[in-house]
Amino acid sequence: MICLSKQDTALLARCRDDDPTAFDEIVLRYKQKIFQYILRMVGDADEAEDLTQEVFVKTYLSISNFRSQSSLNTWLYRIAGNLCIDAHRKRSRKDAALGATVVSLDDNRPDSAGASDDSTPGKEAPDSRYEPYEVLQRRELDSQIQLALSRLPEKMRSVVVLHDLEGLPYEDIAAIVDCPIGTVKSRLFNARVQLRDSLKQYLEA
Amino acid sequence: MKLTKCKDIRPKISDYIDSALASDEMWAVQLHMSVCPECAQFAASISKTVNALKQLPATTPSANFDRSLASRIQAAIAAGKTRASAPWLVRTCRGFASKLSPKSATSGTGLRLSAPIALATALIGVLALMNQPNPPSLTVAPRATVDAGFTAACVHQNQTYVSGQPFADQSALALLQRQTDEGIQHASNGLLGSGKI
């Protein structure tokens, strides 16, 4: 982590010196993480890509103002989180105007190849993930997870995505969402309990 | 360390799953769950949920993400939102702000906004003046000239008063006497004419 921070510091210094390759490196390093986070927050791949680009546009334009009081990682996630909140508000206004509630699901996920290590250690066949039934079942669960995430309050969703999907430590999350660590922990606990309740029938099956 | 009741244990289970508890708390939760199947079941279900979340497939942005991003950044620069077009302005504003108020400069947000606004307003004002076809003159116009003779007469009269000779000017005294006589004559005529005397 310290090593990463040092690399980020060096990258930022190069950016301030107008090194054209430095910003490319930042994008290369963070685009997938930020995209993933936004995708789980908004639930739509196209919107997530659009917002991810917006994060980097904002970063590019304001990088000279960045004062290194937080890590680059934290800063990027914070910009992303704020954009997600703005997008959510716009969507809510639009939905209210239409008089309908729209829950968008992520149906454009690539196949789960390489997504995780063997998640079913008890099974004999290592390729069971690729069997049609398994794939369908997993996709159904993924959709339900995304649906359950979208039903969480914004603040809880942000914390659970950052912790359980992005793997960030409590301290970083506290800096990103701008609240004490104790609040992060309680939001995470409540989010997990709500997700468990929403996914009960799928996880027990 | 007393974490023996379910209501004390449950909120700790999330941290227990993440191994984020102190060792004595970890031990207490573990001990409780060994004798409380409800809490053990609760922990297992939370753990299963977390595992399901962690197994969500990794997703990547589309192949043309970088190209599209480059276009957007160029568009933002063209629209004047750029950092590249005026980094000097940002630095100048920051320096200006810190000189204005060191306290505000350290605390940040307000001054970061107000200094550029002040500078921009000043710049707009200067540009507006420069673009005017007939810029307003700042030189002071001369006041209307006063008759030099009248001034000299006032000075002379003032000197006679100061020297204790209010009627040193004989011509003025004669004029005053004539006006007084005429006034008395006029008043007498009026009174006689009205028959009051």
Q: Nearest Cβ partner of A57 from B14, B76, B87?
A: B76
Indicate the average pLDDT of chain A. Answer: 82
Q: Which of A30, A50, A57, A159 to mutate to test the interface with B (most CBs of B within 10 A)?
A: A57
Chain A closest-CA separation from residue B133 CA (Å): 37
Q: Are B60 and A57 an interchain contact pair (Cβ–Cβ within 8 Å)?
A: no
Asked whether A196 and B13 are in contact (CB, 8 A), the reply is no
The crossing angle, in degrees rounded to 10, of helices A20-42 and A72-98 is 40
Check residue A119 and give its pLDDT.
Answer: 41
**Tokens 């010196």 -> residue:** A17
- Which residues in chain B touch residue A50, judged by CB atoms under 8 angstroms apart? none
DSSP assignment, residue A68?
Answer: S
Q: Are B52 and A141 an interchain contact pair (Cβ–Cβ within 8 Å)?
A: yes
| pLDDT average, residue stretch A51-80 | 88
Check residue B59 and give its pLDDT.
Answer: 87
Residue B129 has pLDDT above 80, yes or no: no
Check residue A91 and give its pLDDT.
Answer: 80
Taking only residues 146 to 185 of chain A, the set having a beta carbon closer than 8 angstroms to any beta carbon of chain B reads 160, 163-165, 170, 185
Is the reported ipTM for this assembly greater than 0.90?
Answer: no
Structure tokens at A124: 């004999």
Check residue B172 and give its pLDDT.
Answer: 57
pTM across the whole model: 0.61
Residue A63 touches chain B, beta carbons under 8 Å: yes
Of residues B81 and A182, the one with the higher pLDDT is A182
Q: Are B83 and A61 an interchain contact pair (Cβ–Cβ within 8 Å)?
A: yes
Of residues B65 and A98, the one with the higher pLDDT is B65
Residue B130 has pLDDT above 70, yes or no: no
Per DSSP, the residues of A140-185 read HHHHHHHHHHHHS-HHHHHHHIIIIIS---HHHHHHHHTS-HHHHH
Residue A105 touches chain B, beta carbons under 8 Å: no
Structure tokens at B190: 């009026």
Residue B179 has pLDDT above 70, yes or no: no
Q: In whole angstroms, give the CA distance from residue B61 to residue B70.
A: 14
The crossing angle, in degrees rounded to 10, of helices A132-151 and B37-54 is 100
Per-residue pLDDT band at A184 (split at 50, 70, 90): very high
Residue B192 has pLDDT above 60, yes or no: no
Q: Are B53 and A160 an interchain contact pair (Cβ–Cβ within 8 Å)?
A: yes
Task: Please write the tens of the pLDDT for every residue from A92-107.
Answer: 787 777 665 444 444 4
